[in-house]
Homo-oligomer: A and B are copies of this chain.
């Protein structure tokens, strides 16, 4: 039997088991020290230090609380269906390849997903569930808990799980997110498990610096709980003995560096792209972005400790977080080597965010800040840095966070054909007024406010607005812009504009576009930049409003 245990050994980093041949499994159960006797010195994380026995979410008793949370009526899905054959877990476990057909279970349902595998937005991750239950993964990736996905699965139904196996599965289910931190209620979740949330738009631009408690959160996995007294960061050059292990204190002894940088999710404003044609990904509004002051040590200073500098001949620097998926894989990502060692790269191993220790949701105790680069490379809960000739082989580097041509769909996509997103293109958004709000005309003008930002250290040089479909454009005033110059301008620009309204119109659509210091500007429409993952959603922001006279 499987049950969750509390691990206190300082020699243990990993607390997850690999996927078990079982319908349900305890996320933190079946600990086997030998499996985790990694080469590296792993005495750092106490993942779930306070979990102990109460972490066992007896979903059998709780009647699938996690599904109810997703607001889906799930009672029918995965329920026993008469007139279908019954299979044991042992039988199901034999169906793991195209040849044998790929089967999975969900509650008491058995499904043949062979023909769906290639279309799975999460790529080959789906095969991790082959011959087993998909439930541990769906607990982890809450985005699956939607009626349309349940319906898709039910269409592949081939049988029922035997009564005995179904019962055992439910008994052993646990919630890997039970130890996530408490969040500020003003954050609007795009998903709860993992936690992903943005601020209401009107609050987003209240401050040039976004407060920690209400900084947008983009987590891919449960938040690990890390004890800084045992925390260690491994830094190494792949296939060499160049290596150093740094404690939290040792990191803090290195030269201190502070930058103000905007971090943005590649999927910011995805919900607008979805309106053209549905995309797969969290339904972000325009607030999956924030701007903070980060203090820490420069990655280039840390790399010098192992003899790596600007003249070294490497291609990538890989990062591993201490957040882990059910197969014991850490979140991983990489950046080009030049960015890591460049004098003007400003890549930071940050221990402070806005003057306070990095909050748990944002990577406590150490988060990589890669200014000008997509949020996904700003790895949280940093556990390991590897200098390499290769990109990270993680799912998030190889099979996600890439752009594609509008006509590429899930049947034709080849993730090898696009580069991993690094620097982000220029973007802007109107935050006040919000869509369909009433706006008072004062002295023949309406006031509009928002943000603009560009990746790669580019500065915003102009923000243009129109309320007549581009016949006349009005240049916004910058209310707050950092004084740093390209290529080290990392922070967003907050702007406002007084737009003249000459005729007594009742309705209008406000458009905004920004121009950055390389004079790149935003594309006009989502139609022509649509991509199946809904990333890089930087077309003009268009906000319909009602004018009041």
Cross-chain contact B473 with A518 (CB below 8 angstroms):
no
Interface residue total, chain A, C-beta cutoff 8 A: 47
A464 interface residue per 8 A CB criterion:
yes
In Å, the complex CA distance between A474 and B421 comes to 21
Tell me the smallest distance from the CB of A475 to a CB of chain B, in Å.
Answer: 5
> What does the 1/0 interface line of A516-542 toward B look like (CB < 8 Å)?
011111111101110000001000000
Q: Which residues of B contact A122 (CB under 8 A)?
A: none
Given A486-B336, A524-B524: A407 in contact with B472 (beta carbons within 8 A): yes
Cross-chain contact B527 with A423 (CB below 8 angstroms):
no
Tell me the smallest distance from the CB of A84 to a CB of chain B, in Å.
Answer: 41
A23 interface residue per 8 A CB criterion:
no
Q: Which residues of B contact A424 (CB under 8 A)?
A: 518-519
> Interface with B: A254-262, A338-346, A502-510, which one?
A338-346
In Å, the complex CA distance between A456 and B338 comes to 15
- Which residue in B455, B462, B517 is a CB contact (below 8 Å) of A518? B455
Cross-chain contact A528 with B515 (CB below 8 angstroms):
no
Task: State which residues 351-410 of A face B: CB under 8 Å.
Answer: 403, 405-408
Given A462-B405, A523-B524: A518 in contact with B456 (beta carbons within 8 A): yes
Cross-chain contact B338 with A515 (CB below 8 angstroms):
no
What's the number of copies of this chain in the assembled complex? 2
Output the nearest chain B residue to A459 by Cβ-Cβ distance: B419
Cross-chain contact B336 with A418 (CB below 8 angstroms):
no
Q: Which residues of B contact A523 (CB under 8 A)?
A: 521-524
A5 interface residue per 8 A CB criterion:
no
A193 interface residue per 8 A CB criterion:
no
> What does the 1/0 interface line of A204-227 toward B look like (CB < 8 Å)?
000000000000000000000000
Cross-chain contact B524 with A525 (CB below 8 angstroms):
yes
Cross-chain contact B425 with A310 (CB below 8 angstroms):
no
| A-side interface mostly | loop
A306 interface residue per 8 A CB criterion:
no
Given A336-B486, A462-B418: A405 in contact with B519 (beta carbons within 8 A): no
Cross-chain contact A405 with B475 (CB below 8 angstroms):
yes
Cross-chain contact A338 with B487 (CB below 8 angstroms):
yes
Cross-chain contact B517 with A521 (CB below 8 angstroms):
no
Tell me the smallest distance from the CB of A305 to a CB of chain B, in Å.
Answer: 21
- Which residue in B407, B461, B521 is a CB contact (below 8 Å) of A419? B461
Given A418-B462, A473-B406: A529 in contact with B521 (beta carbons within 8 A): yes
Greatest chain B CB density within 10 A among A455, A464, A475, A519 is at: A519
> What does the 1/0 interface line of A154-175 toward B look like (CB < 8 Å)?
0000000000000000000000
Cross-chain contact B343 with A470 (CB below 8 angstroms):
no
Q: Can you list 20 A-B contacts (CB < 8 A)?
A: A336-B485, A338-B344, A338-B487, A343-B343, A403-B461, A403-B462, A403-B519, A405-B462, A405-B464, A406-B470, A407-B472, A407-B473, A423-B517, A425-B518, A425-B520, A426-B520, A456-B456, A470-B527, A470-B528, A524-B525
Given A338-B487, A456-B456, A524-B528, 4 more contacts at CB 8 Å? A338-B344, A405-B473, A407-B472, A425-B520
Point out residues on A near B: beta carbons under 8 Å.
310, 336, 338, 342-344, 403, 405-408, 418-419, 421-426, 455-456, 461-462, 464, 470, 472-475, 485-487, 513, 515, 517-525, 527-529, 536
